[in-house]
Amino acid sequence: MIDLSGKSAVVTGGSRGIGRAIAVRLAEQGADVCFSFRGNQAAADEAAAAIVALGRRGLPVQADVTDPAAAESLIKAATGEFGKIDILVNNAGITRDDLIMRMRAEAWREVLETNLFGAFYTLKAVTRPMLKARGGRIINISSVSGQAGQTGQANYSAAKAGLIGLTKASARELASRGITVNAVAPGFVLTELTQDLPQELQTQITERTPLGRFGTPEDVSAAVCFLASDEAAYITGQVLAVDGGLVMM
């Protein structure tokens, strides 16, 4: 079993879906967890309660990571509460799907600002305390859409592909101080966003996936916990696909 006892983590977008699963899984493995949420206070309170119920400290922080100052405040809040940050998981993300010819400039901008710029802002903010500590784990949540592209997701695919580039560049830059940076690329995962997909499309997706099913938030959180652990100390700059074999690079 992965042991994260004594570790402290920050998860962006941690109140629902994959982010919540990651935050709770980190707590189950022994970490204290600070997570950001944009607006759903009830979901944030529930996620924090789930962390506390596991005997760990849970700190919800309302923050829009598209604002560099908010990202900085999130890291300061976690540092103030826990004294250090060992793990950062950049999970916050949105979709604004449409075909390129119909996609509004605002939809392009919003997705890039949340999924890519937001990850950069929090990564940048956490580097100083991690560099001082001469260690840390950074995990960016990318997507199969960033590896293979997806029709109707030019903005999302571009942001998630950019996140892979950010992962590799920062992994090279921070390695000398013992900080690893990796990405997890989920496939189609059952969340609030995908449960409403038409049954026909869900069937097509499972048929295209070699393992024959959708992923679960817990599948993703397990991979994140591994990359956050001491067992992954010699792994950096990598993209771990958690997609049932959908994209084989």
Q: Which tokens hold the place of 157?
A: 């695919």
Distance CA 80, CA 74 (A): 10
Residues 6+ apart with CB under 8 A from 185: 142, 143, 144, 146, 147, 160, 164, 239, 240, 241, 242, 243, 247
Owner of token pair 């607006």: 39
Which residue among 37, 121, 156, 214 is the active-site one? 156
Question: What helix, strand, coil percent values describe the chain, rounded to 5?
Answer: 50, 15, 35
Distance CA 152, CA 146 (A): 13
Distance CA 231, CA 227 (A): 8
For residue 146, give the nearest of 78, 80, 93 by alpha carbon. Answer: 93
Does residue 234 carry a catalytic annotation?
no
Q: Which tokens hold the place of 226?
A: 């591994």
Distance CA 68, CA 36 (A): 14
Strand order across the beta sheet in which 239-242 lies: 58-62, 32-37, 8-11, 87-90, 136-141, 179-186, 239-242
* Active site amino acids: 156
